[in-house]
Amino acid sequence: MRIKTGQVTMQLCTALFLLGISAVAPVKHSLEYFYTLSSEAPNFPEFVAVILVDEVQIIHYNRNMKSAEPKQDWVNKITEDIPAYWEKRTERLKLNQEMFKSIIETAKPCLNYTGGLYIVQGILSCDWDDESDEVNVFTQFGYDGEDFLSLDMKTQTWIPLHQQAVVVKELLDNNKPLLTYFKHYFTQECRHWLKKFLNYGKSSLMRKDLPSVSLLQKTPSSPLTCHATGFYPDRADLFWKKDEEELHEDVVKGEILPNHDGSFQMSVDLDLSGLKDEDWGRYSCVFHLAVGQEVSKRLDKRDIRTNWREKRSRDKGFPSAVVVGLLLLAIIALFLLWRRNIQTSESSPSSGEDPAVKKEISEKQTMLQTT
């Protein structure tokens, strides 16, 4: 496993800043090839290859595809310089697949393989320092989910990482063409292609966006959430610190999630249950981007965004709102009933106008006249 130097660089830059010395941290870029070879894995291609620049996937290929394909639009710019790039890249990946298979066939007797499922994974990468122009390389293989072999390019020997890999190491040390291939790749090709990809994708790969940082809390008893959104790239960290020292207890860190615009967001919760009022000013939430840029937000009650006060006010006002609403409905219903009665009485004949009564009066008048 490689040792990441990001935290060491951050501490060094901080120390120089405190001493009043200005410093520009060098930027390291990486080109990584991830390979997976499997046998009899259900619903999974026999061979998969993924290529990343600065941890951003740029090319994908698997055994079931006719050609490798770009995962970023800017990668297609390469065809302006190399029109047949995708054909050549696809052919190269097919050769990588055959190389993997030949290594496995050579190693099968040492692995006591008798058939069935197996998974072999490999990573080839180089890191380039844009200030010193130094390149560090890394090659490692895994077998069935466990570290298996790594390659030391300085001595050009294989390092066994598993007991079963000891015999395989001896076989691969004697494979001079394979060692020659790796040496040529790491000394010539890796730096060349990394610089090429960085040039094509600089508008995207070199993009550095700092986030907006907010303090959020659902209720006074809930954990306090520090939320950072809108940052790019996703090589970032978000943490709570007390008196300039990072906190690990009473802290729950969330995952980095994508936003719809291509930027990212993340959050980290802090348990406030044991926090005294006089200690609030000693806490800060810090966002750190991989290139060394930071955003810090000190813990202040006035900056906490919450809706629990408004919600409680709405809840308290709910019964009176219901009463007022019911009263209005009752008034409307009474008004409609009164109006209907009025309309009915106006359209109905009066008691003196009843036809039966009129007929009786008419008959009596006729009898009087005849007598």
Q: Which amino acid, 62?
A: N
Specify whether 199 is located in the same domain as 252: no
Q: Is residue 317 part of a domain?
A: no
Residue 178 confidence (pLDDT): 86
Q: Is residue 348 part of a domain?
A: no
Residue 36 contacts by C-beta under 8 Å, 6 or more apart in sequence? 47, 48, 49, 119, 120, 121, 122
Range of the domain at 283: 212-303
| 30-75 residue pLDDT tens | 999 999 998 877 888 999 999 999 888 999 999 999 899 999 999 9
Best CA proximity match to 75, nearest among 62, 89, 63, 64: 89
Q: Which residues of the chain have pLDDT under 50?
A: 1-25, 313, 315, 350-352, 357, 364, 368, 370-371
Kindly state the helix (H) or strand (E) to which residue 179 belongs, with its residue range: helix 176-184
Where residue 241 sits, what CATH number does that domain have? Answer: 2.60.40.10
| 123-141 residue pLDDT tens | 999 998 888 888 899 999 9
Residue 233 confidence (pLDDT): 85
| 265-307 residue pLDDT tens | 999 999 988 888 888 889 999 999 876 789 999 999 899 998 7
Q: Is residue 343 part of a domain?
A: no
- Please identify, among 147, 177, 205, the residue that sits at the C-terminal boundary of a domain: 205
The pLDDT mean for the chain works out to: 80
Residue 192 confidence (pLDDT): 92
HEC string for 32-75: EEEEEEEECCCCCCCEEEEEEECCEEEEEEECCCCCCEECCHHH
Counted domains in the chain: 2
Residue 321 confidence (pLDDT): 58
Specify whether 107 is located in the same domain as 188: yes
